[in-house]
Amino acid sequence: MIHKIKTFLGFKREIKPTTDFSAFFHNASSAEKKKLLGAVVREANKDQRDLVKRYDLMKTA
């Protein structure tokens, strides 16, 4: 219980490593984030369409 209280009060803060991913989202401009997320969404949609096409081909074969 004391450990939880100390953690809550900030006496024991763990330093978490910064990743490139988190650094990008903290430091990038809104335009850069929008551009990246748009590209990710387009690629994910393409992957999903390809998966559905492969499933349909497998189902009809």
- CB of 54 within 8 A of CB of 48? no
The answer to whether the CB of 33 falls within 8 A of the CB of 25 is: yes
pLDDT for 11: 66
Token reading at 7: 């953690």
pTM over 0.75: no
Domain ranges in the chain are 2-60
Of the candidates 19, 43, 44, 41, the one whose C-alpha atom is nearest the C-alpha of residue 33 is 41
At 5-52, the pLDDT tens digits run 777 776 666 677 789 988 998 899 999 999 999 999 999 999 999 999
Query: CB 1: neighbour CB atoms within 10 A?
Result: 5
